[in-house]
Each structure stands twice: as C-alpha cells, then as structure tokens.
Chain A
Amino acid sequence: MSFWDIQAFTGHWVWWTLTVACVVWYSTITVYVAIRGVFDIRGMLRRLAGNSDAPHDPAAPSAE
C-alpha cells in the first residue's frame, strides 16, 4: 500500500493531511530559513562589530 493510495488515508485523512503538510512545510521552511538566515547572521555580526566601540548602555544587565 503506497503513501498515495487513496484507500490508505480515507479513514484517517486528518493525520494523512497533517503528515503531508509537515513534510512539505518543513522542507520548504528549511531551505528558505537556510538562505535568509545567512543574511540575518551577516547583518547581526556587522551591527555588533559597528557597535562594539559605542558607549555602554546604562540599562544593560551588567550595569545593574
């Protein structure tokens, strides 16, 4: 009985749909996040490097 066999999922279509949604959504989001995340990391490190000489924020935790 294959994954796409109509007989296999008619009785439990909710779980079949959820399983397909998980595989498709997770595959898509992994690729998308892998690409966009690189830009996020570069941006974060660039901003941190730029702020490294800035005066310390008095509200920062170490200044309690």
Chain B
Amino acid sequence: MTHFSWALDGSIVGLYLVATMAAGIMVRKYVRRVDHFLIAGREMNVYLGIASLAATEFGVVTCMYTAQNGYDKGFAGATPGILMAVAMLVVGVTGFCVKPLRDAGVMTIPELFENRYGPRIRWLAGVVIVLGGLLNMGVFLRTGGEFLLLVCGLSPAGDASAGFFAAHTLEITMTVLLLAVAAYTILGGMLSVLVTDFLQFIVMSAGLIVVTVLILASSDIGWGKLVATVEARYGEGGFNPFVHPGMGWSYVLFNALLNFAVVLTWQTTIQRLLAAKDTRTGRKIYTGTSFFFVCRFLLPGLWGMAALAVLTPAMVGDNTLYAMPKFLALFVPPGIMGLLLAAMLAADMSTDSSYMLTWGSVIYNDILAPFRKGPWSDKKGLFWNRTIIALIGIFLLVYGLWYPLKGDLWTYLGVTGTIYLSSMSVLLVGCCYWKRANNWGAAAAILFGAIIPVAYLVLEQVWTVQVTDAAGQLVARSVVKDTIGPYYSGIATYVLAAAAMVVGSVLKPKTGPADAKGKA
C-alpha cells in the first residue's frame, strides 16, 4: 500500500526530470576544453560549491543507510555525521592538506603525488582510487531503485508472473535513470553537474525538510514517541554510541578515521575544492557545508526511527534497509509524496553524475597519463573523457545488478572506501607535511591499505559456517564478520597504512639528489 498518486505525484516527478535534463544539456555549449569539462574551468564560487558538495554527498543510498542507522542504532546512528562535520570544519578552518592541494593547481590527488612520489605512484594511486570508488558506487543504483519502488508501493523483487516489465521493474528503472544522468554528464561534464546539482540541492533539501517536519509535527509519531521508542528498544545505547552493543569505541574510532580521510581525499569532495576559483573559496565551501553532514545523518535517521516506532517487525522483514521506504509509503500524503520522490531522484542523480565524472577524471588524468605521448588536443581529450564516463555507466549497470550486498550498507561503503581512503590520506599528509616521505613508503602504504579491506570483503562472502539460529533453522554466518568485524579491520587498515609509509620511507636508502624529492 502507498499514498503515491501517479497523476499528482507523477506530474511533480516528471516536471522535475524535464527541468533537470534541460538545464544539464543547455550548458554543454560552454564546454570547449578539458578543464571546462572536468573542473568547470575553476570558475566555481562559494554558494554553488556548497550546493554541489551537499547534493553530491547525499544520494538515495545515503538516505537509505543513514535511515538504517537510525532504525538499528537510534540517535547514536548519527555519530558518523557528527564526526564528518567536525572533520570538515577543522580542515576548512585550518586548511590542513587542502590548502597545499588547491595551491598546487592540480586536477586530481594523484597528480599532486607525482611531484613527491613519482609517476608510478601517481598511476598506482589512480588505480586504487578508481577501484575503491567504483566498488563503492556499485551499490548505488540497486539501492536507489529499491527505495523508489518501495515508496511507490512496488516490490523490488518484481513480479515474474506478470511479464517482462513487471519482473524487471527495478532494472529498467535503474537503466533509464542512469541513461538520463549519463546523457547530461557526457555532454556537459562538470558544468552540467554543477548546474543540475544546484537544482537538485534545492529539490532534495525541500523534500528532506518537509518530510522531517511532518514526522516531528505528527500527532501519531512526534518527538516524544521517537525518543520513547528508541529508549524502549536500545536503552541508553540508542543515544550514546559508546554504550550501544553494536557500536562502541571501535565504531567511533573507525568512523572518525574514515570521515577524516573522506574529507581529505574523497575525490568527489576534493573535486569541489579543485573546481573552486581559489583556495580561500575552496576552504569556505568546506566550512559552509560542514554542518550539512550532521543533517545528512540525523534527518534521515529520524525517518528510520519513525519507521521503528510505527512498523511492526513483520512489516519490515529481514532487511532493515527497507524499513524507512516502507514507512514513507504509508506516512507521506499525496502531493508531498511527489516532492519526496523528486527529492530522492534529485539526490540520486546528483550523486551518480558527480561520481561518474570524478572517477572518469582520475582514469583520464592519471591512469591514462603514461599512454599519452605528447599533448592531446581538447577535441581528443573531450572524446576520451566522454567515452570513459559511458564505460563507467555500463560497468555500474552490470556490477549494480549482480553484487549481493551482505551486512549493513554503511559498513560496506566504509570498507570499500577504506581501500583507497586509508592509503591516500596517508600519502596526502606525507606529501604535504613530511619531507622524508618517498615512493617506497607510498607503495607500501597503498599495498597495506588495499590488502586488508579487499581480503575482508572477499572472506566475508566466501568464509561462512552453518549455525543453528534461535528458531532452529540452519543459517550461514560469516566468520570474519563475527570474529574480527569491519571496525577493527578498518582501524587496522589505517594504522598499518601509516606505519607502512613511515617504515618504507625510512628504509629507502638516500642515493642521490633525485631522492631528495623521493622520486624513483
């Protein structure tokens, strides 16, 4: 059952889609050069930067995992958002790493690394960034599609007895959405991304605020029932992450490290810094957007807590990821439902377009760098950038359809992101502030930063044992998840990457003047 009205809400969604596509395609005429395409010619100012950063870092997938955190952990589930806001504010105010990064005038982080660590490390860093980023982004489409279908009252599993379209509604929805996003991203690059991000920020924010106010003002739910439900279900742990049985200090420390690394090196975030018209503007974008990251976790978290208060466990089913959209389908009235769907489409499209452009820019700028013999014309550069984005879109469709997600979504994103966040943050800090950092240390940090999370992801899928659950049923349990868990594994990754950088850099013998810059 849903309150979605195809006539009223469908019209609102259709209007939004037409406006976004038109705006995204109209600005393509301003793209004449590769730097226009990838970093908007470094002409972005503060408020457009804030809108773009906020829209990029809030997708449907964000809404899903933050709401899942609210459902599973109560108010304490907003802890990662608070940690990220603090990290963003500190980095924006102090300019830690981001000032030398923007001052260098580079287009990607690996490009900066070449000055200190040499071209091989630049290439390797590009590979690791793209690997971690694409694995991370791989779950966006399916999760977004599941949200949209559940809110519309449709089953993500489809109805195999009702024909091809009914059986594959999710896949068809995902494909159409991705084609639309790819169209304006391929044509207009960063310029289209920024303009559509701006529109999407407004629509997305309106939807987030209106639905949150509806929940808080509701006589059936309201603040009091949310607090009482969290208290009844999780006790003090629902308000304090250190005493929550599923969180504790390891969760807080892992998320502190993760979010600090995200602020410093997550390429979609950094691309806003690099597209800013100067370093001061880039830092203002960071400080101005910092509190948004609390809203990003807390507001959808409230939606998840409302689902906990209203829905029975039988209505939610096994996967708590679906609790929030199932709740919204019942709670949000017609008219507002259209705004909500437009908001979530906006969130999804802005994230997809930015992510495709970002990983494409690293592939073009850093991974293909050794294959570019001599300067390329802008025409050739634009052609390859557009081709790479199209190929990323195809990869997302394929990977997004078959990867079976296990465990909670935020943890999956954290683990896949750690593949590059751990080593890249260590490389960046070393590059900016440690004169002895060199290519030996950088290679060791990349190796250790990638091995642990990749091994964790693989073992989580393949190393399982059969155990009997409380109902007497045989179920498969992941051994690494139960014994080590993602948080200790994540903390170990950051610590070992830093240690590898120090040990590797110190071990490299000083043999000549070239080593003063740490190059191979």
Contacts and interface: CB of A to CB of B under 8 A. Distances in A.
User: How would you classify the secondary structure of chain B's contact residues: helix, strand, loop or mixed?
Assistant: helix
Given A27-B209, A30-B205, A40 B298 contact: no
B32 interface: yes
Interface string A25-51: 111011011101101110111011101
B369 interface: yes
A37 B47 contact: yes
A8 B227 contact: yes
A60 to B, nearest CB: 5
A38 to B, nearest CB: 8
Interface in B180-220: 191, 194-195, 198, 201-202, 205-206, 208-209, 212-213, 216-217
B376 interface: yes
Contacts of A21: 291, 294
A15 B74 CA distance: 11
User: How would you classify the secondary structure of chain A's contact residues: helix, strand, loop or mixed?
Assistant: helix
Contacts of B40: 44, 48
A33 B50 contact: yes
A4 to B, nearest CB: 8
B268 to A, nearest CB: 18
A42 B83 CA distance: 35
B246 interface: no
A45 B30 CA distance: 7
Chain B interface size, under 10 / 10 to 19 / 20 to 34 / 35 or more: 35 or more
Interface residues of A, number: 45
A49 B30 contact: yes
B369 A33 contact: no
Contact of B375 (A5, A39, A44, A63): A63
Contact of B44 (A19, A40, A63): A40
Contact of B212 (A23, A33, A34): A23
Interface in B111-164: none
Contacts of A62: 33-35, 375-378, 380-381
Nearest to B381: A62
A8 B225 CA distance: 9
Interface of B: 27, 30, 32-36, 38, 40-41, 43-51, 75, 78, 82, 105, 107, 191, 194-195, 198, 201-202, 205-206, 208-209, 212-213, 216-217, 222-225, 227-228, 239, 288, 291-292, 294-295, 298-299, 302, 364-365, 369, 372, 375-378, 380-381
Contact of B202 (A16, A34, A36, A64): A34
Nearest to B206: A30
Given A3-B222, A3-B223, A40-B47, A25 B295 contact: yes
A60 B32 CA distance: 12
Contacts of B50: 29, 33, 37
A61 B384 CA distance: 13
18 contacts: A2-B222, A2-B224, A3-B216, A3-B224, A18-B298, A19-B216, A23-B213, A26-B209, A26-B299, A30-B206, A37-B201, A41-B48, A43-B45, A44-B48, A45-B30, A45-B191, A47-B41, A62-B34
A2 B32 CA distance: 56
4 tightest CB-CB pairs across the interface, nearest first?
A1-B224, A62-B381, A40-B48, A62-B34
Nearest to B372: A64
A12 B44 contact: no
A39 to B, nearest CB: 8
Given A56-B33, A62-B34, A62-B35, A40 B45 contact: yes
> Which residue, B40, B222, B288, has most C-beta atoms of chain A within 10 A?
B222
B36 A33 contact: no
Nearest to A43: B45
B78 to A, nearest CB: 8
A29 B47 CA distance: 10
